[in-house]
Structure 1
């Protein structure tokens, strides 16, 4: 069945003006000011009435199999479900392991990604976890990228964090080299997605590798860069040198009280420092644990990241006075570009039919993923296989 969205204010993510969008399944057939069809009875017509149509959001870090465990067995967070993403307008996401690569395995991650893809999303994976040596499925980073269709990089390997493996610059450089070659051979991003903790060294190791080896700074994609003012400023310097940094949208009151910079404030600060927003993305860290540690490094509390925080951050940025066209790439095209997800993060005849139709006050009305309507009038039309409706 053909679907025609008529008279939408299309943000692709750049503003195209009022347009009609015609698509069939995952394929966008035509975008034009007016599309006249002779056999309208064969077409599902959606009247947008001038409301914004944006690309489906791209989330470069979600723990789809859950995470956590820093406070013991009972603190393992649950798996993500289909509607956790779809109701939040997220149609493309990249899955990762974190601290726990013992009770959460790469086998489980890849299979869960395929399950969510079957249910309607587009889900990719990083091989590895916080740990070094990097755990892989085939026994080799390069082979994982070349032989496994939904594995697109390495992550989220941890630096500047007491939960990481305290790896050295030569060790991380070898990881990056293997991922780089795997990306080249497979046509994938081959990015090393880096978890940056609150350790004093920050991202110094990434600059050291770029200066002392043939690995460019752009091979690394560091996240949680709004963790503190000091780390934020390091991140902006990383961006000035051509790298792309990622801010985390899931947070809690204690994190903010301890110095984490709210995403809205971090983006405004980046703008004030002359940083091009094409060098910044946002991720939800959905279903990750948000552990709180005391001065002795003991876990004294835990909360969970939410995929929905990505769309909430977009709305907060708009409410802070920034234009939709300026901030939309932060949650769509920027991550897609870095990760080489060429059919994601935009609206064009070369992109998949991943759309979010907004209401006039920036709530979610409808969500299409690969042309399938998952959400209508803000309610789920499709649920995950084992979700309670």
Structure 2
């Protein structure tokens, strides 16, 4: 597994300019102005990819994907299907973090872990979060701490629902205890320890999160508040939360009604944050892929749903770059370096020596995805799918 990516304009996500990238054994071996085949031992084994006229980005990270499916708010027939490998790779994504949502009953942690391991075997990197909307959290081992300490794929808990009519209404003491369990077990296992919080459009918004932060010694950086763009008020409060050290996660999958009801489109949100000169460091995007996009009446009655798609992740970034004039390095950081920091993925999110060889190459004029390399292996080349899932 030796690959030489030649002549692309590299964003690490910081702009590096025109560079060559050599990957060996699934890792980035070096990045230089020029690397010749003569410098490489066994160069007859090298796969050379011509990236001239292309942008070269780190492989995208989607921090919120219902890899085993989600939904179910309208009954059994509304359970959404599990994701397939090529859904992910053709979206430029090389790392996913799987989670459960509303349904932590007919969906379970065993299936979630098994699906993550399937995706790892098929060629990408997959992690999971323990639990669902519900507190107390339903885990694999019976304890949050043991899940995080003993299971490599488990990065934290989530998505825990707050300020939502589907929330299980945890008390502040329950929430404090959960976050403390995540922090201590993460310290013992060398992980970051993430608490992914589903924010609904209820009146409380960030209120419970602020209470935990203000009434404990737990750093805000453990919190990843997702769906932070679901309405203007949530978004504006999220900017304060982000400045305070928490991670604000914006959801790219949407429907027309959500936008008409006040949801802030992600590409526009990136422009607004850029115009306010707010640092992007604690800002992430995720797709909510395979999750349901349910439509409820004001009284809470279920009206219908659509399914979130992982392709929306880069689509919003692309629109931010092409239509909203957000600098490339800022826009790309929200789906590469920033989620890697938020979830403690030390080998992901950047193109630099020693990091995992996850690379997404896009056409310069159109910004369309062309080639995707995961852990040093080319899965999509010039829009041709080279590797499919086991049953695709």
- Shorter-chain TM-score: what band? over 0.9
Could you tell me which residue of structure 2 aligns to residue 369 of structure 1? 374
Q: Does 1:358 align with 2:324?
A: no
1:42 Cα deviation after fit: 3.2
Pairing partner for 1:386 from 381, 387, 391:
391
Question: Deviation digits for residues 79-138 of structure 1, max 9, x if unmatched?
Answer: 000011100000001000000011110000000000011001100000010001111111
Question: Deviation digits for residues 337-382 of structure 1, max 9, x if unmatched?
Answer: 1111011111111210000111122111110000111101112111
Decide which moves more: 235-244 or 193-202: 235-244
Q: Does 1:207 align with 2:176?
A: no
Could you tell me which residue of structure 2 aligns to residue 11 of structure 1? 11
Could you tell me which residue of structure 1 aligns to residue 190 of structure 2? 187
Contact kept, 8 Å, 2:228 with 2:235, in 1: the verdict is yes
1:1-389 correspondence runs (5 A): 1-38=1-38, 40-319=43-322, 320-360=324-364, 361-387=366-392
Q: Which runs of 5+ in 1 are unaligned?
A: none
Contact kept, 8 Å, 2:97 with 2:126, in 1: the verdict is yes
SS in 1 for 2:290: coil
Contact kept, 8 Å, 1:18 with 1:50, in 2: the verdict is no
Question: Deviation digits for residues 58-84 of structure 1, max 9, x if unmatched?
Answer: 111000000000001100000000011
- What do you get for the CA RMSD once the two structures are aligned? 1.1
**What is the rounded CA distance, in whole Å, between the counterparts of 2:243 and 2:306 in structure 1?**
33
SS in 1 for 2:212: helix
**What is the rounded CA distance, in whole Å, between the counterparts of 1:274 and 1:3 in structure 2?**
38
Question: Deviation digits for residues 186-207 of structure 1, max 9, x if unmatched?
Answer: 1112110100001100011111
Question: Deviation digits for residues 281-320 of structure 1, max 9, x if unmatched?
Answer: 0000000000000122111010000000001011111112
Q: Which runs of 4+ in 1 moved over 6 A?
A: none
SS in 1 for 2:105: coil
Contact kept, 8 Å, 2:274 with 2:326, in 1: the verdict is no
Name the count of aligned residue pairs. 387
1:270 Cα deviation after fit: 2.1
1:275 Cα deviation after fit: 1.7
Contact kept, 8 Å, 1:70 with 1:299, in 2: the verdict is yes
Contact kept, 8 Å, 1:60 with 1:95, in 2: the verdict is yes
SS in 2 for 1:331: coil
SS in 1 for 2:37: coil
SS in 2 for 1:313: helix
Distance 1:228 1:78, change over 3 A: same
**What is the rounded CA distance, in whole Å, between the counterparts of 1:34 and 1:217 in structure 2?**
42
**What is the rounded CA distance, in whole Å, between the counterparts of 1:42 and 1:76 in structure 2?**
46
**What is the rounded CA distance, in whole Å, between the counterparts of 2:269 and 2:48 in structure 1?**
40
1:36 Cα deviation after fit: 2.2
**What is the rounded CA distance, in whole Å, between the counterparts of 1:204 and 1:111 in structure 2?**
35
1:323 Cα deviation after fit: 1.9
Contact kept, 8 Å, 1:239 with 1:275, in 2: the verdict is no
**What is the rounded CA distance, in whole Å, between the counterparts of 1:59 and 1:79 in structure 2?**
15
**What is the rounded CA distance, in whole Å, between the counterparts of 2:193 and 2:330 in structure 1?**
27
SS in 2 for 1:278: coil
